[in-house]
Amino acid sequence: MEDFAQYDAVGLAELIRRKEVTPLELVDEVIDRIERVNPTLNGVTIKMYDHARELAQGDIGNGPLAGVPFLLKDFLAEYAGVEYSASSRFLQGFVPDRDTELVKRFKAGGFITVAKTNLPEFAIGATTEPRLTGATHNPWDTSRTPGGSSGGAGAMVASGVVPVAHGNDAGGSIRIPAAACGTVGLKPTRGRNPLGPYFGEVFSGFVAEHVLTRTVRDTAAVLDITAGPDVGDWYPAPPQSTSYLEEAGTPPGRLRIAFSAESPTGTEVHPDCANAVRDIAALCEELGHDVEERSPDHDTHGLWLDWTTMMSAGVAWGVHGWEERIGRKVEPGEIEPFIAALVERGDAVGAPAYLAHLERLQLGAREIGKFFTEHDVWLTPTLGEPPLPLGILTYDSGDPFELRRRQATFSPFTYIANVTGQPGISLPLAWNGDDLPIGIHFLGRYGDEATLLRLSGQLEEARPWKDRRPPVSA
């Protein structure tokens, strides 16, 4: 199918409904595309080809995206009968016997999962360079990182293997690879998509599930399929009364947009990223929005310190939880040094200290929330730097927080949305002189994905990116 890359998921679903192509033909096309680029990019680690072909020849149902091929990140979203490793030697060979609720919704929406994508071990990190499965490479420059933790998904979507792939995000893990690879990446509002029924809030409520796509309407269409609380959720998001897909095609009206090119953690922002934000701020003004340079008046660096400590506690909880589920302790060499160091740090966080960090984060979220009573959207770079060379964001020994600080220079903006629970989206609106994508980040009010999708649709039309193709393309 020579023109496969011209279609997004919504477009492919329409071809299937019109019987211009069969689901099996699309699955075979995606398999061919994986086999063409994966030896170079290493974005896919677990192949489900026979299973996908079997599904494609059966009853695909009548979901909105029925028959569309899909890739699943090998983390949190458990798919019954398919290996789940989270890129860890400790979990290698583990096969769950259950689907998580999100996977059930992907299936009900019509997706046919063809393979699972690469990630750093236990999805911790801003690059995708696990020791078990090897580094994923950026299709725009294979010497550079695709970001993380959903780096395999970002590389596969950007290279045209699939139009949409699953990701999850505890500090930027959808939006960082979206920015590094030149795709669309939305982190929805806390509680918008389900994490259950086998996981609770995951990392203190920081985690959100969604997808990386090439078009805004695909991001919206998938949210129509997945959004809604699971039974017993502590944090259901405010309900949405209209279709997200409809919202993506609706003019946003005149918005109050604040912008900043300064890092909230005090790190230096690369001129390519800062200049891109100023350019898009000017574009927003040309489109009729009220734009001013301003940031929330809060100690966001202190927020980052609390978030980082809580993430260490979350890693310790996660590893110990898997020890309990599998029925044995981690042995030396079964987890990477960075994860082992974070487990040690996390184990040292006592209950009173944990609650103190949580309280400060919640108070900080309230202060940042006040900023959004005066503004509809906050515009920043997604990343503080263009995609870095592979090897810079990896760890061998020493203080694990030193690597976290280096990661904060690369990605100083995205964690705020995970702390506050607000929706944030990265759009591929700029490229630098080296033809590397520069993602632009938009943070919206709590529960208000609709405004972000309307604005994103407007910007996609004003500054289209659909026809940009990286050097490594399927």
Token digits of residue 111: 């997706």
SS3 content of the chain, % helix, strand, coil (to 5): 40, 15, 45
Token digits of residue 74: 């090998």
Contacts of 8 (CB under 8 A, 6+ apart): 163, 164, 213, 214, 215, 217, 218
Q: What is the pLDDT of residue 355?
A: 97
139/144 Cα distance (integer angstroms): 9
Instruction: Indicate left, alpha or beta for 147 from its phi (over 0: left) and psi (-120 to 50: alpha).
Output: left
Structural contact between residues 364 and 419, judged by C-beta atoms closer than 8 angstroms: yes
Active-site residue (options: 85, 87, 88, 149): 149
Q: What is the pLDDT of residue 300?
A: 85
Q: What is the pLDDT of residue 39?
A: 99
* Residues with pLDDT less than 50, the chain: none
Q: Give tens-digit pLDDT for 342-359.
A: 999 999 999 999 999 999
Centroid of chain to Cα 396 = 25
457/347 Cα distance (integer angstroms): 44
Tally Cβ neighbours within 10 Å of residue 17.
12
Contacts of 53 (CB under 8 A, 6+ apart): 24, 27, 28
416/307 Cα distance (integer angstroms): 9
Q: Is the dihedral of CA 158, 162, 164, 170 positive or negative?
A: negative
Q: Compute the chain's Rg from CA coordinates.
A: 20
Q: Is the pTM of this model over 0.85?
A: yes
Backbone angles phi, psi at 410, to 5 degrees: -70, -40
In angstroms, the Cα distances linking 444 to 146, 162, 168, 316, 432 are: 25, 28, 18, 31, 26
E-strand stretches of 84-189: 112-117, 164-169, 184-187
Coil, strand or helix at 239: coil
E-strand stretches of 184-303: 184-187, 208-213, 256-259, 290-293
Q: β-strand 424-431 against 437-444: which pairing, if any? A: antiparallel
Active-site residue (options: 173, 260, 263, 456): 173
Query: Rounded mean pLDDT of the chain?
Result: 97
In sequence order, what are the beta bridge partners of 72? 116
In angstroms, the Cα distances linking 172 to 57, 167, 186, 212, 351 are: 37, 10, 10, 12, 26
Q: What is the pLDDT of residue 378?
A: 99
Give the angle subtended at the CA of 410 by the CAs of 214 and 431, to the nearest 5°.
40
31/25 Cα distance (integer angstroms): 10
Burial of 234 (0-12, 13-18, 19+ CB in 10 A): exposed
From the candidate CATH numbers 3.40.309.10, 3.40.1280.10, 3.90.1300.10, 3.40.1710.10, the one assigned to the domain spanning 4-462: 3.90.1300.10
Q: What is the pLDDT of residue 301?
A: 85
Token digits of residue 282: 């000017």
- Give 20-23's long-range contacts (Cβ < 8 A, gap of 24+): 22/56, 22/67, 23/55, 23/56, 23/57, 23/60, 23/66, 23/67, 23/68, 23/112
- Is 173 designated active site? yes
